[in-house]
């Protein structure tokens, strides 16, 4: 049976309008839109609260049911939109199909209709609505990008080893980095319109998928500056402005095929086998052509073995130099075996005390 009120058979009434309210009490993502040619701009005659709620038409990439996909729709007050009335000439059931970016010639007038009643949007006058990161205009830089450039880390120190004076039979020079520093790589942003695809939220969270030739990047950032960026060569920079936690329920493995530097401003603790399981251990193996250097500038070094053993096996020479006193406290027996000669040089006095001292027993 023919029904003149059936959508598709009745007259298609479309509109352009401005969003004035998105605080949908039903939390469906609906909007109140003031429509050009249909509604007056006089808010005394037609307050924002009297505008009908408009439903949003989501893209096919958003399911729109049971929380699947992207919801609610991301349209703010002051946005120009396009849509139609599904109830035709009654014009009480608007449907928003999309947004209409442009180049605002004026900022919001909160006293009139067709503007953001909160006075927030648009942010810029006589500037296109396209994100500044997508345009890359040096005369209108994105503030987040400028802050990234200003806060780039440089001159980060690595372990600074002093060369130990050589004394033939006591010590060897330490071969390690001396005063080395490293810099955070330059910010690789060099976008060319229209190849940088940008998403920015109201508070300042950002995602960039930059397809600019020879400058391809991926960038995600929290409004505080915590971010991850991958440049055109696959180099990755992670920045955490707050605390950083890694929680792994399974195993973790890593391989670093180049050099590695760690600079820590505070303390560093490692706890192995916190669950007390048997046969768990901490292994460090140094390659045949490498060396291990430990330097403590003005602190103490404490090694505590509560119930275990400590074994040190050195196949070559073992050199130890102590600038101050050396105190050895052995609560059990002390056994010393020297397969060849033993030489002891003491410039001061020598004291041996014991309940009994046997020489050549």
Domain range for 9: 1-127
Residue of 246 and 178 predicted with greater confidence? 246
Same domain, yes or no: 91 and 185: no
Same domain, yes or no: 97 and 142: no
Q: Which of 6-20, 151-165, 174-188, 331-345: highest mean pLDDT?
A: 331-345
- Specify whether the CB–CB gap between 89 and 65 falls below 8 A: no
* C-alpha–C-alpha distance, residues 134 and 191, integer Å: 7
Same domain, yes or no: 217 and 109: no
Q: How many CA atoms lie within 13 A of 163 on its CB side?
A: 7
Residue 108's nearest CA partner among 202, 15, 199, 20 is: 20
Phi, psi dihedrals of residue 263, rounded to the nearest 5°: -120, 120
DSSP label of 89 = G
Same domain, yes or no: 139 and 199: yes
Same domain, yes or no: 69 and 107: yes
* C-alpha–C-alpha distance, residues 196 and 216, integer Å: 9
pLDDT over 80 at 173, yes or no? no
Helical spans, DSSP H, in the chain: 132-135, 143-150
Q: What is the mean pLDDT of the chain?
A: 89
Give the per-residue pLDDT at 257: 94
Among 224, 239, 254, where does a domain finish? Answer: 239
Residue 99 within a domain: yes
Give the per-residue pLDDT at 4: 62
Give the per-residue pLDDT at 310: 81
Looking at residues 229-244, what average pLDDT do you find?
A: 98
Over residues 96-131, the pLDDT tens digits come to 999 999 999 999 999 999 999 999 999 999 999 999
Token pair for 345: 């040089």
pLDDT over 90 at 171, yes or no? no
Q: What is the CATH number of the domain that holds 215?
A: 3.10.450
Over residues 237-286, the pLDDT tens digits come to 999 999 999 999 999 999 999 989 899 999 999 988 888 788 788 888 88
* C-alpha–C-alpha distance, residues 201 and 154, integer Å: 30
pLDDT over 80 at 137, yes or no? yes
Q: What is the CATH number of the domain that holds 104?
A: 2.40.50.260
Residue 184 within a domain: yes
């Amino acid at each position: 049976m023919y029904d003149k009120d059936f959508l598709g058979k009745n007259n298609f009434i479309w509109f352009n309008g401005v969003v004035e309210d998105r605080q949908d009490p039903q939390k469906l993502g609906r909007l109140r839109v003031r429509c050009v040619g249909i509604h007056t701009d006089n808010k005394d005659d037609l307050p924002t609260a009297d505008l009908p709620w408009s439903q949003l038409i989501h893209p096919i990439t958003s399911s729109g049911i049971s929380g699947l996909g992207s919801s609610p729709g991301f349209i703010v007050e002051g946005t120009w939109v396009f849509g139609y009335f599904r109830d035709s000439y009654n014009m009480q059931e608007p449907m928003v199909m999309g947004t209409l970016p442009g180049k605002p010639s004026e900022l919001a007038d909160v006293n009139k209709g067709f503007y953001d009643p909160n006075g927030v949007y648009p942010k810029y006058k006589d500037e296109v609505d396209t994100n500044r990161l997508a345009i890359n205009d040096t005369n209108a830089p994105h503030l987040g990008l400028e802050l990234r450039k200003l806060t780039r880390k440089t001159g980060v120190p690595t372990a600074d080893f002093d060369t130990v004076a050589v004394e033939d039979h006591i010590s060897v020079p330490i071969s390690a980095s001396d005063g080395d520093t490293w810099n955070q790589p330059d910010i690789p942003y060099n976008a060319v319109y229209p190849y940088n695809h940008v998403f920015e939220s109201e508070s300042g969270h950002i995602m960039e998928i930059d397809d600019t030739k020879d400058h391809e990047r991926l960038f995600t950032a929290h409004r505080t500056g915590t971010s991850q960026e991958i440049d055109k060569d696959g180099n990755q920079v992670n920045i955490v402005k707050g605390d950083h936690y890694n929680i792994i329920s399974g195993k973790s493995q890593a391989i670093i095929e180049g050099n590695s530097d760690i600079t820590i401003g505070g303390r560093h603790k490692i706890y192995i086998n916190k669950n007390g399981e048997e046969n768990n251990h901490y292994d460090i193996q140094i390659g045949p052509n490498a060396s291990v250097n430990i330097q403590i500038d003005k602190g103490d070094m404490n090694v505590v073995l509560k119930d275990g053993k400590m074994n040190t096996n050195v196949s070559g020479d073992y050199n130890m130099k102590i600038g101050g006193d050396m105190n050895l406290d052995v609560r059990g027996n002390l056994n010393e075996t020297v397969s060849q000669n033993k030489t002891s040089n003491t410039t001061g006095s020598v004291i041996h005390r014991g309940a009994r001292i046997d020489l050549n027993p």
